[in-house]
Amino acid sequence: MRVANLQGRAAFITPENLAIDIERASSGALPHDPMQLFERWAQVRKLAATVHGGVPFAAADLDAPSPLPRQIFGIGLNYREHAVETGAPIPDTPLTFTKFASAVNKPFGDIPIEVSTTDWEIELVVVIGSGGRNIAESAAWDAVAGLCVGQDISDRVLQRATQPPQFNLGKSRRGYAPFGPWLVDATTVSNRDALALTCTLNGEVVQQSNSSDLIFSIPQLVAYLSSIVELCPGDAIFTGTPSGVGGARTPPRFLTSGDVLVSTIDGVGSITNRCV
Ligand code: ZN
């Protein structure tokens, strides 16, 4: 099952890449607002099994699958090779920061380049369904609505502008949190713990890895975060980026206007962001 946000209305995306409006398909039993569906995800799954048909849609009309999350978590240094390339030790606790919700961008949205130190980070993004507190690792996947592709765009100078560093603002400039193109129901992804990620910049592969290399797995992250804060329906977790970011290169390489970033996770989808 794939659920997209088409101009503010939740829609199933069929295997033929056609859209089915969820409110209409449910004869009004389910709301059109994607944010109101997460706590009723069991109903959404049930409905998905009964629908057929659909209409074509334009990728440009896709909005973030959770457009107004109450919380967005970012996990730093969650791939071994990325921790090594930044010179940081392998963490024994998830390094957690926030991307403020005003940074949410469309899956095919432009990224404004406001500073010369803007970097890319392809990430597997988890969107929470029912949520809650103290979710056990063994129950974590049940609390997840779905998976999507994200870019944890980062201003590397702002990220480390203070001592000690506070990543939050450097991760939250305008348009810095594109994700989508839709949510893939994790219960329908057989290899959900081993997904291939590829990020290209102007056609050149800059990041290539597999989510099986995550230091903290998705169930571990859900259990850890929910032991501290309440996870709310629609919350997004950017689970960390593999090696190959621009700031860790010699010399460093950053995004400039005109660059095109394509981020793909096999079995999940692909997003494209143009730098402007
Ligand atoms: Zn990141």
Distance CA 270, CA 247 (A): 23
Do 120 and 236 fall within a single domain?
yes
pLDDT at 83: 87
Structure tokens at 216: 């903290």
Query: 123 C-alpha to center of ligand 1: Å?
Result: 7
Structure tokens at 62: 């896709």
Which residues on adjacent β-strands are paired with residue 48? none
Q: Cα dihedral sign for 226, 228, 234, 235?
A: negative
Do 29 and 104 fall within a single domain?
no
The average confidence (pLDDT) of the chain is 97
Residue 84 pLDDT level (bands cut at 50, 70, 90): confident
Residue 215 pLDDT level (bands cut at 50, 70, 90): very high
The structure tokens 């997904």 sit at 195
Query: 219 C-alpha to center of ligand 1: Å?
Result: 18
C-beta separation of 38 from 72 below 8 A: no
pLDDT at 190: 86
C-beta separation of 105 from 178 below 8 A: yes
pLDDT digits (tens, 9 = 90+) for 62-83: 999 999 999 999 999 999 888 8
pLDDT at 71: 98
Query: 170 C-alpha to center of ligand 1: Å?
Result: 11
pLDDT at 162: 96
Do 51 and 73 fall within a single domain?
no
Q: Cα dihedral sign for 238, 165, 79, 245?
A: positive
pLDDT at 188: 87
C-beta separation of 115 from 158 below 8 A: yes
| For residue 85, pLDDT beyond 90 | no
Domain of 49 in residue numbering reads as: 2-62
Do 32 and 122 fall within a single domain?
no
Do 202 and 100 fall within a single domain?
yes
Domain boundary among 47, 62, 77: 62
Distance CA 67, CA 249 (A): 33
Helices (H), 27-163: 41-48, 80-86, 156-159
Do 116 and 149 fall within a single domain?
yes
Distance CA 2, CA 276 (A): 30
Query: 165 C-alpha to center of ligand 1: Å?
Result: 15
pLDDT at 179: 98
Do 68 and 54 fall within a single domain?
no
| Number of separate domains in the chain | 2
Query: 18 C-alpha to center of ligand 1: Å?
Result: 31
In eight-state DSSP terms, residue 89 is P
Do 132 and 196 fall within a single domain?
yes
Query: 12 C-alpha to center of ligand 1: Å?
Result: 28
**Pairing label, strands 177-185, 104-105:** parallel
pLDDT digits (tens, 9 = 90+) for 217-258: 999 999 999 999 999 999 999 999 999 999 999 999 999 999
Structure tokens at 226: 């929910």
Which residues on adjacent β-strands are paired with residue 261? 201, 273
Query: 41 C-alpha to center of ligand 1: Å?
Result: 27
How much is the pTM? 0.97
What's the whole-number mean pLDDT along residues 28-51?
A: 97
Do 139 and 152 fall within a single domain?
yes
Q: Considering the chain, what percentage of its residues have pLDDT values greater than 90?
A: 94
| For residue 107, pLDDT beyond 90 | yes
CATH number at residue 247: 3.90.850.10
What's the whole-number mean pLDDT along residues 170-191?
A: 95
Do 47 and 170 fall within a single domain?
no
Residue 99 pLDDT level (bands cut at 50, 70, 90): very high
Query: 108 C-alpha to center of ligand 1: Å?
Result: 19
Q: Cα dihedral sign for 106, 108, 113, 116?
A: positive
pLDDT at 223: 98
Domain boundary among 62, 80, 109: 62
pLDDT digits (tens, 9 = 90+) for 121-158: 999 999 999 999 999 999 999 999 999 999 999 999 99
pLDDT at 125: 98
Element (H, E) at 222: helix 218-226
Q: Considering the chain, what percentage of its residues have pLDDT values greater than 70?
A: 100
pLDDT at 191: 93
Query: 88 C-alpha to center of ligand 1: Å?
Result: 14
| For residue 88, pLDDT beyond 90 | no
Do 74 and 194 fall within a single domain?
yes
Do 57 and 68 fall within a single domain?
no
The amino acid occupying position 241 is T
